[in-house]
Every structure is written in structure tokens, then in C-alpha cells.
Amino acid sequence: MTKIRNMEEFAALSGISRPTVSKYFQDPDSVRPTTRLRIEEALERFDYRPNIYAVNQNRKLTKNIGIVVPYLADPFFAEIARYLEQSCIAAGYRPSLFSSHGDPKLENEILDGLKSMKPAGVLLAPLGRTSDRTAIEKFCANVPTVLFDSNLEGLGAAFIGSDNFSFVSQTVEYMTRTGEPPSFFEMRTPANPNANKRRKAYIEVMERLGFDPHIIKVDGKGWAFEEIGHRGALKVLSDRELRTDSVLCSNDRLAIGFLAACYEQGIRVGRKDDSTLRLASNDDHPFAKFTCPSLTTAAHDYDNVAGRSVETLFELIENGGKFDTRTETLFPARLVLRDSA
């Protein structure tokens, strides 16, 4: 079988002119069914694929989509990325996945590289507080970008995320209703803006319910949340900082560390009578089902956040890369009752 070098040769072999073949590859439905058939027959016999570099050089808009997450070693983002990737592929795009690995400098470099890829659009979950706002703003001005998970006010054409108030209000109300009002356990300077919204929601809900908010801030920076939660919990437990038997963690990864600390200290966690502590959290991390005890947590609406993000990006692309107004879409949480609270 002869090796095909370019579209010219393939067109000759399939008996169709090159411009028509070119049209076919951009949209198979844009050619007459009979010619489409002839091309696809030839395609089966000769296995030819257009040179993506030549294609992308000449298109003003590529079929590439950039997906950027802040920390891929967090299975939460790995799962979201998985969903986003497959949605893009299903829609005929070529997704490229990047992780900022918690590093703002790397985030900038990724956006830089992305810009030179002339992507049709970008799905960006920014680092948050540590992000270089100016750089991201400049990027969004050049590339159709939809933000997700972590909102940077005013940046990107749209934001899709979770309604942090819904997360916290459900867990706080549940814990209060079935026991004591929880303290709120979080990092002192959280990287993720969702953390700030959760703290505010906690305060608001507690006050509405007539309780005194009690926030415990633990030291530590970076994205090693389990480690931070673990260290922080050991300190909290030894210093007896808790006012009630209930704790609400800002996120599951902190909670995983907290639970490990409790286990080491012989403190039984759960809603059963023999337990001395109840612990709930937010996110429904993929491993939350397998912590000891399994973690009661408010689950992201993964499917809707991811689904709506790609939908929005596709709309944005079809709309020429601009929306009249920037929309923010928030999906509520679903309370997942397990054994820890």
C-alpha cells in the first residue's frame, strides 16, 4: 500500500478534487452525500489524515481547547478534567490538559503557551488568590475563556461553579439539627476563593440559627491539604480548641487529614453514641467514601458543573468569543450522609 504524503495525493486517489476534500475534513456534512461516501471509502483504503500543523496554521480558529486545572494530583480535578476532556472530544474538539501544580508562575506559562496555540477556547480553573490577575485578564482578552470551579471576579466570559452557600448551609443545618453546631476548620490563607465564600456562609448560617460562629484557622500553605489538616487537627485536639463536638471542614482534603489525626489520637468520629466527635466537610472527594469513618460531605454537582462549563464554552465559541454579559452559574450541593457526622 502506497504511503500518502498530502491531501493532494489523497484527493487524486479518491477521485475528488482537493478543495472538496478539504471541505469534507472541516465538516463532512458540507459535501454531497455521494462524494462524502467516496471520500470515506478512500479513507478506509488509504488511511490518510490531514497534517494538523498545516491545518491549524491556515485556520484562524483551531479546533483546540485548553483545559487548565490548578492541581491535577487532586482527584477532584482529575475527575472533572476527565469529564471535560471527553465532552470536548465528543464535540469534535482536541482538548489539551494542563495543571498549574499550585504554582502561579506555571499558570502563567501555561496560558502563555496556550495563547500561541490559537485555541478555539479555554476552560480555566484558576489557582485563585495566588493567580496573577493581570496576566489572566490579558489572556482572557485574547482567548475565549470560561472560568470554572474558582471564580475570579469579572474575568473570563462566564463562570460556572458550585454554590458555596448551599454547601455550607446544608452541612451546618444538618449538624445543628441532629447535634451541636460545628466549628469551622480551614486554612489561614486559603488559596481557593471558594474557601472564603464558605467561611462567610458559615458565619451567616450560624448567626441566622442563633449560634456563635467559631472559626479555627490552621497554618500552612500550598496544596498539601491533607498534611495541613493533619497537623492542624493535632494542634486543635491537644489545645482543646473545640467548643462543641462538631467540626465542619472547609474541604474534604483537610478533613482527610483531620480524620487521620483523630484516629491517631484514639478519638472516635461519627454520629453514633460511642463517638466523641462529628466531622463533616465539603466537596465529596472521590476518596471520601473510603475514609475512616466514611465522610459526610456536601457533594459538588460534578456533572452539571462540568457539563455546563463545556456547553457555555461552545456557546461562547459559536458566538464569536464574546458574550454581551458575563454570567455566573452556581450549582447547589447535594448533602451526602455517611458515617462521620
Partner DNA sequence: TCATATTTTTAACGCGCGTAAAGTTTTTAT
Partner DNA sequence: ATAAAAACTTTACGCGCGTTAAAAATATGA
Residues that bind DNA (CB under 7 A): 5-8, 15-20, 22-23, 25-26, 30-32, 34-36, 50-51, 54-55, 57-60
What burial letters (b/e) apply to 187-226, b meaning 16+ CB within 10 Å?
Answer: beebbbbbbbbbbebbbebbeeeebebbebebebeebebb
How far CA 255 is from CA of 87, 105, 137, 299, in Å, comes to 31, 28, 33, 14
Which is nearer to a second copy, 52 or 209 (by Cβ)? 52
Considering the rule CB under 8 A, would residue 294 count as an interface residue with a second copy? yes
Contact, 144 vs 314, CB < 8 A? Answer: no
The one of a second copy, DNA, none whose footprint includes residue 73, by CB under 5 to 8 A per kind, is a second copy
Q: List the interface residues with a second copy, window 255-284 (CB under 8 A).
A: 256-257, 259-260, 263-264
CB of 13 to DNA, least distance (A): 12
Question: Positive or negative CA dihedral for 239, 233, 333, 77?
Answer: positive
What burial letters (b/e) apply to 71-93, b meaning 16+ CB within 10 Å?
Answer: bbebebbeebbebbbebbeeeeb
Q: What one-letter code names the amino acid at 177?
A: R
The one of a second copy, DNA, none whose footprint includes residue 188, by CB under 5 to 8 A per kind, is none
* Backbone φ and ψ of 122, nearest 5°: -135, 135
CB of 130 to a second copy, least distance (A): 18
Considering the rule CB under 8 A, would residue 56 count as an interface residue with a second copy? yes
Considering CB under 8 A, how many residues would be counted as binding a second copy? 45
Considering the rule CB under 8 A, would residue 52 count as an interface residue with a second copy? yes
Select the span of 128-136, 177-185, 225-233, 237-245 touching a second copy (CB under 8 A): 225-233
Contact, 163 vs 333, CB < 8 A? Answer: yes
Helix (H) or strand (E) holding 231: helix 225-239
Considering the rule CB under 8 A, would residue 108 count as an interface residue with a second copy? no
Binding mask 67-106 for a second copy (x = CB under 8 A): -----xxxx--xx-xx--xx-------x-xxxx-x-----
Residues 6+ apart with CB under 8 A from 90: none
Which is nearer to a second copy, 124 or 260 (by Cβ)? 260
Contact, 97 vs 109, CB < 8 A? Answer: no
Residues that bind a second copy (CB under 8 A): 49, 51-54, 56-57, 72-75, 78-79, 81-82, 85-86, 94, 96-99, 101, 113, 116-118, 226-227, 230, 256-257, 259-260, 263-264, 286-287, 289-294, 339
